[in-house]
Amino acid sequence: MFKKNTAGYYQFEELKKFDFLVHGFSSWQFGDCRERKNYKKFLETLGVGVENLVLAQQVHGNKIKVVRYQDRGKIIPGADGLLTKDWQVVLGIRSADCLPILFWEPQAKIIGAAHAGWRGVLAKLPQKMIDQIIRMGGLPENVLVAIGPHICGKCYSVEKERIESFLAEFGKIERMVKNNCLDLEIPTVIQLLHSGVKSANIFSAKMCTSCNNDEFFSFRKNSESNYGEILSIIGLVV
């Protein structure tokens, strides 16, 4: 269950039960988290120092980087997915309509964060994240996946060519395409299931950034004057 707390950020109840695991999704309340002062405030609200944060550059691709303790404070070039087994590391993804996805393998103690726009989903970034978790010693059946706020299948209208690309790659999946709109969560979940993640371990915020523009930024709905991005984080901290 995805819920907002009194501090103004959102969390999944399914992830809160794990000791030493910190996670959260910011809201409008924290401002544009492309700005350091805003994401610093968000992290401090979670009890995390900004010096622990590792960000992906986010180039709308499918490159994944395994980061280490010494990468703290860096923005990892070319990456849209981050993974680590190191403690005192917080992984961060900034988004406004794209899918922020958090990964947690509790047995192998692996955390991950991915920024999945349409190019990343089409290039199978979610599947590649699971593949990399396996290479790091994790098991797909143990992985919990939390999909944060993103634009929904009713608001994400796209051109015919983009729809045809998804149909060619994934087939005619039910509910993926309707009225010239594309639901990116559908092929994302399909990839996770095909990779061995249990359906019961996939959680979705089920909150659209466009429909809920009073809570989250939306690339499509906001104008240049009030556009921003939320920050989604997951970390292993003592």
pLDDT at position 174: 82
pLDDT tens digit at each of 238 positions of the chain = 999 999 999 999 999 999 999 999 999 999 999 999 999 999 999 999 999 999 999 999 999 999 999 999 999 999 999 999 999 999 999 999 999 999 999 999 999 999 999 999 999 999 999 999 999 999 999 999 999 999 999 999 999 999 999 999 999 888 899 989 999 999 999 999 999 999 999 999 999 999 999 999 998 887 777 788 999 999 999 7
Architecture (CATH level 2) of domain 2-236: 4-Layer Sandwich (3.60)
Instruction: Round to whole Å and give the CA distance between 113 and 20.
Output: 17
pLDDT at position 225: 74
Neighbour tally for 163: CB within 10 Å: 16
pLDDT at position 238: 79
DSSP conformation letters of the chain: -EEE-TTS-EEEHHHHTSTTEEEEE--GGG--TTSHHHHHHHHHHTT--GGGEEEE---SS--EEE--GGGTT-EETT-SEEEE--TTEEEEEEESSSEEEEEEETTTTEEEEEEE-HHHHHTTHHHHHHHHHHHTT--GGG-EEEE-----TTT-B--HHHHHHHHHHH-S-TTTEETTEE-THHHHHHHHHHTT--GGGEEE----TTTTTTTS--TTTS-TTT---EEEEEEE--
pLDDT at position 222: 76
DSSP conformation letters of 49-89: -GGGEEEE---SS--EEE--GGGTT-EETT-SEEEE--TTE
Task: Note the pLDDT tens digit of each residue in 58-103.
Answer: 999 999 999 999 999 999 999 999 999 999 999 999 999 999 999 9
